[in-house]
């Protein structure tokens, strides 16, 4: 599509491949294979002379519609869709690493991302150093000539720490290292990592791209050369492809992504402001508020604060559990980015595997609640949150 159309328009039309029936809504091409009109045509598909589809592990028309649509939104030359967010993270890292390479990662990572970097990579001879994401001096000290890539999330889960994407990209590029960023919390609507200097962006599409808690999915975006020459062979031969049905759900999710993200972020900002001085809440973290420790950076690299708010309920774990159990509208779960608002107690669920010291280093206290703000009316949510807080 032409670049002068706004993201909202492109998210409705980009990437459409219509069949001979000219269907309005995109078709689900639920097929693993493709019949060739002749033996010569089959041969041409395999040499790449004919760019058509070969096998759904390599590509499928519905999956390709999703890939083209999100690549257009992200401003990426190419995208490859995966079966889950973790398949995307795994492929984005493993497809470009070799034994002897060095990786620098921020300490505050989604649990399974941490497992890949901390436990899996060293098994294959990749050495890893962790840094505090916000501290640029630590990045400068850790990145060395053998560093092949750096990896981080911004904002991070669950304490919403930011990494200065442009500054870390400068340091990494100084030694020829690539920057891989997990952009799930910011969403493609509020942060554009490629424009800030990142080389590869990964998403768990399970979160805001689906946005209604239905399917697992993921996507990796980057340059045409990276996606075609490094990522695609890895994905083709290891089998983490997205299913056509999932791709259709995600494709339709993209049509409403700007509207949902805007509404959810607006509610999150309102809730953060309304609860910041609540007597039953200690620390409240939201990148869109001036009291966020990195507010200036948030204003520079994000266009809104996102839809996640984190806060400490007074009374430690007992206070947090009392609050959670008193909620009537907000659901207790570990997912995020759903239309339904979700409250999580990271210390006993998503981050229970960590030691108490590791949790303390990440700011994950026993009273910490991560709130993923959904599509409900913000006043209804606030009433529920305030009533639950009053029981603490």
Ligand X SMILES: *Cc1c(COP(=O)(O)O)cnc(C)c1O
Report the interface residues with ligand X, using CB under 6 A. Answer: 84-86, 89, 110, 112-113, 153, 157, 182, 184, 204, 206-207, 216, 218
For residues 118-139, b (16+ Cβ closer than 10 Å) or e, as one string?
eeebeeeebebbbbbbbebebb
Q: Which is nearer to ligand X, 191 or 321 (CB)?
A: 191
Tell me which DSSP letter residue 226 carries: I
Tell me which DSSP letter residue 374 carries: -
Instruction: Tell the smallest beta-carbon distance from residue 338 to ligand X (Å).
Output: 11
Distances (CA, A) of 217 to 79, 213, 240, 367: 13, 11, 10, 31
Instruction: Tell the smallest beta-carbon distance from residue 24 to ligand X (Å).
Output: 29
Instruction: Tell the smallest beta-carbon distance from residue 56 to ligand X (Å).
Output: 20
**Residue closest to ligand X, measured at CB:** 85
Q: Which is nearer to ligand X, 152 or 286 (CB)?
A: 152
Q: Which is nearer to ligand X, 203 or 321 (CB)?
A: 203
Q: Which is nearer to ligand X, 204 or 294 (CB)?
A: 204
* Tokens 């913000």 found at: 378
Q: Which is nearer to ligand X, 215 or 272 (CB)?
A: 215
Instruction: Tell the smallest beta-carbon distance from residue 95 to ligand X (Å).
Output: 17
Distance separating alpha carbons of residues 203 and 183, to the nearest angstrom: 6
Q: Which is nearer to ligand X, 106 or 275 (CB)?
A: 106
Q: Which is nearer to ligand X, 85 or 244 (CB)?
A: 85
Distance separating alpha carbons of residues 104 and 117, to the nearest angstrom: 9
Instruction: Tell the smallest beta-carbon distance from residue 249 to ligand X (Å).
Output: 13
- Where are the extended beta strands (E) located within the chain? 78-82, 102-106, 127-131, 147-153, 178-182, 200-204, 218-222, 281-285, 308-313, 331-332, 342-344, 368-372
Instruction: Tell the smallest beta-carbon distance from residue 57 to ligand X (Å).
Output: 18
Token pair for residue 359?
């949790």
Distance separating alpha carbons of residues 230 and 242, to the nearest angstrom: 18
Instruction: Tell the smallest beta-carbon distance from residue 41 to ligand X (Å).
Output: 37
Is-contact 99 126, C-beta < 8 A?
yes
């Amino acid at each position: 599509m032409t670049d002068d159309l706004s993201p909202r328009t492109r998210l409705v039309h980009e990437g459409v491949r219509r069949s001979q029936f000219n269907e309005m809504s995109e078709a689900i091409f639920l097929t693993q294979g493709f019949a060739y009109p002749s033996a010569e045509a089959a041969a041409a598909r395999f040499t790449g002379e004919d760019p058509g589809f070969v096998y759904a592990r390599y590509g499928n028309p519905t999956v390709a519609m999703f890939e083209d649509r999100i690549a257009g939104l992200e401003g990426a030359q190419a995208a490859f869709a995966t079966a889950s967010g973790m398949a995307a993270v795994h492929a984005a890292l493993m497809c470009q690493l070799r034994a002897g390479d060095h990786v620098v990662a921020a300490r505050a990572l989604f649990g399974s991302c941490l497992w890949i970097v901390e436990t899996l990579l060293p098994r294959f001879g990749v050495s890893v150093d962790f840094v505090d994401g916000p501290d640029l001096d630590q990045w400068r000290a850790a990145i060395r000539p053998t560093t092949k890539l750096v990896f981080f999330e911004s904002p991070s889960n669950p304490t919403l720490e930011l990494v200065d994407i442009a500054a870390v990209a400068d340091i990494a590029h100084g030694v020829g290292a690539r920057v891989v960023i997990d952009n799930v919390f910011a969403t493609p609507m509020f942060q554009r990592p490629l424009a800030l200097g990142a080389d590869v962006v990964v998403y768990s599409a399970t979160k805001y791209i689906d946005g209604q808690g239905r399917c697992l999915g993921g996507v990796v975006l980057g340059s045409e050369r990276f996606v075609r020459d490094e990522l695609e062979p890895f994905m083709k031969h290891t089998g983490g492809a997205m299913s056509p049905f999932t791709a259709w759900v995600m494709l339709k999710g993209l049509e409403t992504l700007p509207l949902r993200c805007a509404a959810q972020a607006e509610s999150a900002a309102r809730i953060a402001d309304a609860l910041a001085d609540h007597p039953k809440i200690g620390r409240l973290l939201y990148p869109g508020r001036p009291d966020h420790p990195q507010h200036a950076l948030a204003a520079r690299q994000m266009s809104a604060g996102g839809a996640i708010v984190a806060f400490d309920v007074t009374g430690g774990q007992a206070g947090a559990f009392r609050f959670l159990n008193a909620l009537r509208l907000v659901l207790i779960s570990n997912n995020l980015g759903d239309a339904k608002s979700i409250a999580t107690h990271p210390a006993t669920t998503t981050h229970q595997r960590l030691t108490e010291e590791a949790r303390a280093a990440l700011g994950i206290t026993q009273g910490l609640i991560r709130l993923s703000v959904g599509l409900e009316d913000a006043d209804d949510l606030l009433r529920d949150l305030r009533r639950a807080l009053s029981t603490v």
